Structures are given as C-alpha cells and as structure tokens.
Amino acid sequence: MINAPYGLLAELTHKCPLHCLYCSNPLALRPREEELGTEDWLRVIREAAELGVLQVHFSGGEPLLRNDLEELIAEADRCELYTNLITSGLGLTERRAKGLVAAGLNSAQLSIQGDNPESTALIADSKRFDKKAEAAGIIRESGLPLNMNVVLHRLNLDRLDAIIDVCDSWGAERLELANTQYYGWGLRNREVLMPSREQLARGEEVYRRRKEELADRMELLWILPDYYERYPKPCMGGWAHSSFTVAPDGMAYPCPVAADIDSLKFPSVRTAALEWIWMESPAFQAFRGTDWMPDPCRSCSRKEIDFGGCRCQAFALTGDAARTDPVCVHSPDHHLISDAVERANSDTPAPEPVFRR
Ligand code: SF4
Ligand code: FES
C-alpha cells in the first residue's frame, strides 16, 4: 500500500549567496533560466494538497531570491498547508518578513555555519555573519518561532558550546545539530570535513550537557554522523515513503539528493501530474518497500527499520543505487566507509577545501 506523502520540499532556486563546503544539493545545479515559473509552482502546491501533503518546506539555494515567494506561501496557506521557510537569512528584511507572515508563513529555519564571522568565511566563503544575526532578530520580531540549524564537521565541532551560546542568545527555540552527510558537493570535501572519533565524542558530550541545561527554553537535536554508526539511517523514512522534492527545474525526486542517480529516469511536474509521479512513476517505485532489496538486506531482521539505508549514498559510493548502504557493517562495500573513517583518524593531512561555485 502506498501512503499519501506528508511533506513537499519545494526547492525554488539553486542560486545561493553562500558557497558551503558541505552543500548537499546535487552536483549539477539548475540555472535560473530553467526554473519553474510562478503558475507552475502554484499548480504544484495545489496538486500536493490534493495528494494529501500537509507541510511545504520552501528551500533552495536561497528561496528569498524568488520574488514570488509570498504568492506561493499564500497559495499553500489557502490550501491549508503548514509552511516553513529554510533560509540562510541573507536578504531577509523586516519588510520582507512582514510580507511572508502576512502571506501565511508558519515557521522559519535559519542556518549558521558557526559562532562567528570567521567560521562563516571558512565554511561558506561569506563575510555576512552579521546578516544572520540580523535575520534571527527579524524572524523573532515577526512573531515566528526561530528554528536554527548548523551542520557540524571537523572545522566547527570543537566550538559547539559557543555555537549553542550564539543560538541561545539569538532566542532560538529549536536547534538542529546536523552532523555532515557526505552527499553532492559535501562528498568532494569529505576529507576536509570528517571529524575524528574523539572530536565527535567530545561534541556529543557537549550536546548532552547543553540539552539538559537548556531544556526549559531550547530544544536541541543531534543528527547522527552515520559514518560512525554500525547501521545506516532509515533515510527519508524509506524511498518515496512520506515526502518528496520538486527541484527548481520541476524535476520530482523522492529526496533532495536523488538527482545524481543517473540510472533512474525521474519525472517532471512540467509533464506529469503529481499523483501519477507519487503513485506510479517508475523512479518513485524503484526502491519502495523491501522487494527491491539485495542480500544482505533481503534476509535481514532490520530491513523494515532502516530500509537498507540511503539510496543516494549507495549510488554515490558504489555507482549502484540498489546496493546495501555501505554504512552498514554487513554491506560488502563497508570498507568504503571504514577506510574513510580510518583516514579521518590518522595523521594524513586533509586536502584543500573546495567551495561550491
Ligand atoms: Fe539495514 Fe540492510 Fe544492513 Fe540489514 S543488511 S542492517 S537491512 S542496511
Ligand atoms: Fe536520497 Fe538518502 S539522501 S535516499
């Protein structure tokens, strides 16, 4: 049985003022001239609501770069969808925030790269930490809850206490501490970004201590660093199980990274209805459920728990999206993970970081 999807990630544009080392967007970014127009997005939002979607996350790139963002939010609001804005904060003004709230925006998630201007420059090649502080104030002033996100890695994990202090001082109600996932551009910088085992253990200790200390005012979440786990994460809750992504050019994917899987032919909202895409398109059916699984997943007692892990990670590391996620200790490809972990814990000097352009 196929469930109705719960969430739509609407990637309005790949254009972004930041150049993050860990960007998980696909390697080939869509240019602005290929972006869906307003009418197409309005139709996608209506079709999503009819399909059963409850939440729309407007993302990118930087979704504030779209002048029709207010119009799209208003349509989602008319369709009684919960709306969330995922933003770098760059370009958010008081006036824009008022317009977004008036259109029906329900929440905003602001990302930071660290606790100071130097970390923003080091990781995102941007000098605009001041703009992030300003955006946090604007979000709170507008009456929206301030949710924050920071991607954690070798270059900022040792400053976790200071990062949490900054988010607390800005009035964040929720902070997602997302250990880097090595997809898309992030995989290119894996050796720059992967922390050592000790560094990660120290970071996790800080997370536990601060979670308890701040329990009365800020919710802290720790997204697991899967290279250090024995078993993979149940990525996306299973392929095409509860949410999907529409990319800036209208291509539809079961997850934000799947565009890199070139062995599947993904559908487009320009030429197909969302209902067909979700219920019947071959790319969405490809890894649904457990029938597609190879061994060792096929005969494993965890197959309904982690669904064989992440298809994008399997593809990125082995070239075959149908293999068991190499993170799993039972995977025949697990050496691809353990070798990377070993390098991160050795004296091998890290290569030069490559910023996303
Ligand atoms: Fe999960 Fe497959 Fe590993 Fe079992 S063998 S734990 S189902 S990834
Ligand atoms: Fe695509 Fe995991 S990121 S399935």
Q: What is the 3-state secondary structure (H, E, C) of 280-345?
A: CCHHHHCCCCCCCCCCCHHHCCCHHHHCCCCHHHHHHHHCCCCCCCCCCCCCCCCHHHHHHHHHHC
**Annotation-wise, does 235 bind a ligand?**
no
- The verdict on the CB of residue 152 being under 6 Å from ligand 2 is no
- The verdict on the CB of residue 255 being under 6 Å from ligand 2 is yes
Give pLDDT tens digits for 325-348.
999 999 999 999 999 999 999 988
Residue 20: band (very low, low, confident or very high) from pLDDT cuts 50, 70, 90: confident
Task: Give the ligand whose atoms come closest to the C-alpha of residue 284.
Answer: 2
Residue 117: band (very low, low, confident or very high) from pLDDT cuts 50, 70, 90: confident
- The verdict on the CB of residue 200 being under 6 Å from ligand 1 is no
- The verdict on the CB of residue 36 being under 6 Å from ligand 2 is no
Q: How far apart are CA 274 and CA 277, in angstroms?
A: 5
Pairing of strands 219-223, 55-59: unpaired
Contact (CB, 8 A) for 93 and 138: yes
**Annotation-wise, does 16 bind a ligand?**
yes
Please name the residue whose Cα sits nearest to atom 2 of ligand 2. Answer: 310
Alpha carbon of 197 to ligand 2 centroid (Å): 24
3-state secondary structure the chain: CCCCCCEEEEECCCCCCCCCCCCCCCCCCCCHHHCCCHHHHHHHHHHHHHHCCCEEEEECCCHHHCCCHHHHHHHHHHCCCEEEEEECCCCCCHHHHHHHHHHCCCEEEEEECCCCHHHHHHHHCCCCHHHHHHHHHHHHHCCCCEEEEEEECCCCHHHHHHHHHHHHHCCCCEEEEEECCCCHHHHHCHHHHCCCHHHHHHHHHHHHHHHHHCCCCCEEEEECCHHHCCCCCCHHHCCCCCEEEECCCCEEECCCCHHHCCCCCCCECCCCCHHHHHHCCHHHHCCCCCCCCCCCHHHCCCHHHHCCCCHHHHHHHHCCCCCCCCCCCCCCCCHHHHHHHHHHCCCCCCCCCCCCC
Q: Is the pLDDT of residue 253 over 80?
A: yes
Rg of the chain on CA atoms, in Å: 20
Residue 354: band (very low, low, confident or very high) from pLDDT cuts 50, 70, 90: confident
Whole-number pLDDT of residue 199: 96
Q: How far apart are CA 86 and CA 110, in angstroms?
A: 6
Q: Is the pLDDT of residue 201 over 90?
A: yes
Whole-number pLDDT of residue 185: 87
Give pLDDT tens digits for 158-170.
999 999 999 999 9
Residue 127: band (very low, low, confident or very high) from pLDDT cuts 50, 70, 90: confident
Give pLDDT tens digits for 203-247.
999 999 999 999 999 999 999 999 999 999 999 999 999 999 999
Give pLDDT tens digits for 61-107.
999 999 999 999 999 999 999 999 999 999 999 999 999 999 999 99
Give pLDDT tens digits for 26-45.
778 888 999 999 999 999 99
Whole-number pLDDT of residue 146: 95
Whole-number pLDDT of residue 240: 97
How many Å from the N-terminal Cα to the C-terminal Cα in the chain? 42
Alpha carbon dihedral 79, 84, 89, 92, in 10-degree steps, equals 30
Q: How far apart are CA 226 and CA 160, in angstroms?
A: 19
Alpha carbon of 247 to ligand 2 centroid (Å): 15
Whole-number pLDDT of residue 340: 96
Whole-number pLDDT of residue 261: 95
For 4, list phi and psi in degrees, rounded to 5: -70, 145
Q: How far apart are CA 154 and CA 189, in angstroms?
A: 11
- The verdict on the CB of residue 56 being under 6 Å from ligand 2 is no
Q: Phi-psi category of 206—alpha, beta or left, where left has phi over 0 and alpha has psi -120 to 50?
A: alpha
- The verdict on the CB of residue 300 being under 6 Å from ligand 1 is yes
| Amino acid (1-letter code) at residue 155 | L
Q: Is the pLDDT of residue 125 over 80?
A: no
**Annotation-wise, does 20 bind a ligand?**
yes
Instruction: Share the mean pLDDT of the chain.
Output: 94
- The verdict on the CB of residue 310 being under 6 Å from ligand 2 is yes
Alpha carbon of 295 to ligand 1 centroid (Å): 9
- The verdict on the CB of residue 256 being under 6 Å from ligand 1 is no
Task: Give the ligand whose atoms come closest to the C-alpha of residue 253.
Answer: 2
Alpha carbon of 272 to ligand 2 centroid (Å): 22
Give pLDDT tens digits for 277-329.
999 999 999 999 999 999 999 999 999 999 999 999 999 999 999 999 999 99
Classify residue 43 by burial, with Cβ atoms within 10 Å: 0-12, 13-18, 19+.
middle
Residue where the block lists tokens 């930087």: 62
